[in-house]
Chain A
């Protein structure tokens, strides 16, 4: 035997040798990584948008009232008399109540959501005759601060744009026209009526019993109403995105099933060349564990590279390219135009999931061939 002075851990030398063996077939390596990136990138984009939408949804829930009240007619929501606000405030458990109008209106070809807000201390809203515009609708209507907003079928309504919401104010606000409650009532010809009532309970009385009491008090007004609590809303938002996300994931597994055969080929499943390489390693004294360790290192390297590249591509695609061509699959209404920041949140879990998928796929292809060749006699593998 030769002098082994200066030897280091075999795991270190096996690591570098694994890298060398991986780069000996650059085309195969490139194709494998490219396949994985192509499959993983839309998955990461979709997951990021899902998390972004979910985050903004919970922001909306958190900002909402303890009780959300709407009128109820023919099994659908209906408007309510504004006096219900005073009725709500009269209950001792109610900290505050506010009426609101949320409706739709077309301005030319542009559909916008109109929100009429009642003024309250510490919460600035547009004054009568003023309007705040979402960034997208301002762009579509080519309006800026100081311009006049007119509604075709309501000549008596003239609103001055006093604020344009920034582009990062949330995608749900991008097509809003926010006015005073009075202006919204005039716009929809519903004086003295609101579309929903927001009720906040006093903190020490914010319990099931307290909310029940408030709801019973509101129903005592004889106005047919629907009452939703914040917890109800949280529950169905959480459940909803989970369900649809599962459908998305199921579709994605189908995509993986399509790409699996190509990956198995590129990773050497059944490749006689790979088998011979392993046979040669065995002939030169590599053990089964050495071969499997090198296979594991190679698949880990390629998985990490592919998952990382897919993440970077997804990030650039969403953050820098605005999710072009893909965001409208996940968020409806984007195709109608107007500048909107696509909601997206990149977290570690989808990346780790993508990494796990890649590793599983690559290992399935590579480990099977490697193990079969490694446990065989070297000459059997070399033939």
Chain B
């Protein structure tokens, strides 16, 4: 089934600790669109608001003002249960800092998001195995994540982001701690998902990712500096 997803941010502002001495604006009046069909790279120095942008698009945090729409559906107008369903079915998030449940095997960590929909364990394991094999981690299927290397950790996190076949894939530094071969594989998977109609937004300092991206959104101090096709 083909799909065509779009994500739009309309005048999104995010202020942390408003009204206090530690107040800071992570995003300021940001308006940008992301369409399916290719990788979108969000680029900028540390502290420019890249991760904040991803968390707001991923409904993990709410903007102080402005709106985010996915296929025209405003996230601000959704109830808590609707947001949960959105995160579960339509959004896949790869965290820069991996969060896992120690002691639970990798396949369970990867597919735990399917529990709320009633997927039985056997089925979840099969689904997880499929993605782990693509990422070269099938031999880690039953291991606890604390026994994984940094790079393996990151690839398992990507598998978790992809397991529900989401429409929107948000990857924060997807190639961090990966060697060249695995980086290439991960980028190929993301490009494949983008070609399948998903909106794929990544943040990265990796030149390989920049070369693979189709569109670039550059941030600086929370403001959009540039948005357009990637050149060179």
Interface residues of A (CB under 8 A from B): 1-2, 4, 6-10, 12-14, 16-17, 20-21, 23-25, 276-277, 279-290, 375, 377-380, 382
Contact = CB atoms under 8 A, between A and B. Distances in A.
Nearest to A17: B115
Interface string B96-129: 0001111110001000111111111101000100
B221 interface: no
Contacts of B85: 285, 287
Nearest to A14: B115
Interface string B28-62: 00000000000000000000000000010010111
B81 A287 contact: yes
B120 A8 contact: yes
A6 B117 CA distance: 11
17 contacts: A6-B123, A10-B115, A14-B116, A17-B115, A20-B108, A21-B104, A24-B102, A25-B103, A279-B99, A280-B101, A283-B87, A285-B89, A285-B164, A286-B113, A288-B81, A289-B81, A382-B99
Overall SS of chain A's interface: helix
A282 to B, nearest CB: 7
Contact of B84 (A21, A24, A287, A382): A287
Nearest to B165: A2
A13 B115 contact: yes
Interface residues of B, number: 38
A286 B88 CA distance: 7
B153 interface: no
Interface in B163-179: 163-165
Contacts, number: 107
B84 A286 contact: yes
B23 interface: no
A7 B119 contact: yes
A74 B102 CA distance: 77
B123 A17 contact: no
A24 B60 contact: no
Contacts of A4: 117-119
A9 B115 CA distance: 10
Contacts of B101: 21, 24, 277, 280
Contacts of B103: 23-25
Given A2-B164, A14-B115, A283-B93, A377 B62 contact: yes
Contacts of B58: 283
B88 A285 contact: yes
A296 B84 CA distance: 20
B80 interface: yes
9 nearest CB pairs, A to B: A285-B88, A24-B103, A284-B113, A7-B118, A287-B84, A379-B61, A10-B118, A285-B87, A378-B60
Given A1-B164, A24-B102, A287-B80, 4 more contacts: A17-B115, A286-B84, A289-B81, A377-B61
A266 to B, nearest CB: 17
Given A10-B115, A17-B115, A2 B99 contact: no
A16 B99 contact: no
A372 B89 CA distance: 24
